[in-house]
Amino acid sequence: MPRLSLLDLVPIVEGGIVAQALANAADLARHAEAEGFSRYWAAEHHGMRGIASAATAVVLAHVGAATSTIRIGSGGIMLPNHAPLVIAEQFGTLDALFPGRIDLGLGRAPGSDGRVAHALRRTLTSDPNDFPRDVIELQSYFADDGRTGITATPGAGARPELWVLGSSLFGAQLAAMLGLPFAFASHFAPDALDSALAIYRREFRPSAALDRPYCMAGFNIFAADSAEAAELLASSQMQAFVALRTGNPRQLPPPVAGYREQLGPQSAAILDHVLQCSVVGTPATVAQGIARFVERTGVDEVMVASSIFDHDARKRSLTLTAAAVRELKLAA
């Protein structure tokens, strides 16, 4: 069975505050570390009332100080929002603070809308070559190879593990071309998952970073001691998905019993689509769902995503998930 890792959007729940969301992030990372998760990743989103991880490098410094062994990183940094030199400095700093533990996942989506992109003071063009050029420039700063004529300090000589993220075929092609590990965002954009993984594996070119393809995919998991309790936990994320897809993003709402049954056809279709790569239920159900997902994709790691309103219930879900995977490994 593959490794388990954790994606955290650092959710701000309804009635909650940013400070509590950040405290929960550190506590969740400590818990994931104790349960044997390989990585904790936070994602860059801007202008979202329910997500506290916009200043991703700052959040990772906070989480790094609260943990000791788990890898910490971005899932991801949206590179079109930033000058590559700034990201080299930020993640060079993190690498100096937490050597051997830093991942730098890179995406090409803005993680926002056009107004927020403008507020970030980056000019977004339609040139598909901008993102690959920025990734290569970033690699140059870390390598300190002189190609940019600038020494990133911190940054030069730092060794964060670079990943290319994607929800389409573009990221798979770029990761393959550069010989970097690839992570697919199937937890919210499942359509191109199989095609992207096939392209990445077929076109992969070995590099100094990686000698063979290595891939991870997002998977929503909501685990509880009963099927009814798990469905109730999942309803918060379900509400958030429907709200986002209908143009009404919100803070993470409290769970609602029987939420799915209350939906109209349009909202139900939204959920059926976005939750294709998900499992909700008891540890036995979760184990079966993970096993099917791994058999289908052949991924090296499963990136667990699960925004749950109650923090302790979220930690319990991770505990049950880790136990389910341990059982699968014993049965293999």
Residue 220: predicted pLDDT = 98
For the chain, how many helices (H) and strands (E)? 11, 9
The answer to which of 54-58, 69-73, 79-83, 132-136 has the lowest mean pLDDT is: 79-83
pTM score: 0.96
CA distance 78 to 76: 6
CB 171 within 8 A of CB 164: yes
Rounded-to-integer distance, Cα 83 and Cα 14, Å: 34
Q: Look at residue 322 in the predicted model and tell me its pLDDT.
A: 97
Task: Give the pLDDT score at 119.
Answer: 82
Q: Summarize the confidence of residues 193-199 as an average pLDDT.
A: 98
Mean pLDDT to the nearest integer, 307-332: 94
118-127, 153-162, 229-238: the lowest-pLDDT one: 118-127
What average pLDDT does range 261-280 have in this prediction? Answer: 94
Name the least confident of 21-30, 75-84, 125-134, 280-289: 125-134
pLDDT band at residue 203 using 50, 70 and 90 as cut-offs: very high
Mean pLDDT on 40-51:
94
Residue-wise pLDDT for 233-265, tens only, equals: 999 999 999 999 998 899 999 999 999 999 999
Which tens digit of pLDDT belongs to each residue from 216-237?
999 999 999 999 999 999 999 9
269 to each of 70, 221, 265, how far by Cα in Å?
Answer: 37, 19, 6
Please give the mean pLDDT across all residues of the chain. 95
Going through the chain in order, the beta strands assigned E by DSSP cover: 3-8, 39-42, 71-78, 102-107, 161-166, 182-184, 215-223, 278-281, 301-305
Does an H or E element contain 295, and which? helix 283-297
Tokens of 290: 């993970």
Q: Specify whether the backbone of 100 is left (phi greater than 0), alpha (psi in -120 to 50) or beta.
A: left
Residue 124 has pLDDT above 60, yes or no: no
pLDDT of residue 117: 74
User: Mean per-residue pLDDT for 292-300?
Assistant: 98
How far, in Å, CA of 25 to CA of 12, rounded?
10
pLDDT of residue 126: 58
With bands split at pLDDT 50, 70 and 90, how would you rate the model's confidence at 123?
A: low
Question: Can you list the domains of the chain with their CATH numbers?
Answer: 3-331 (3.20.20.30)
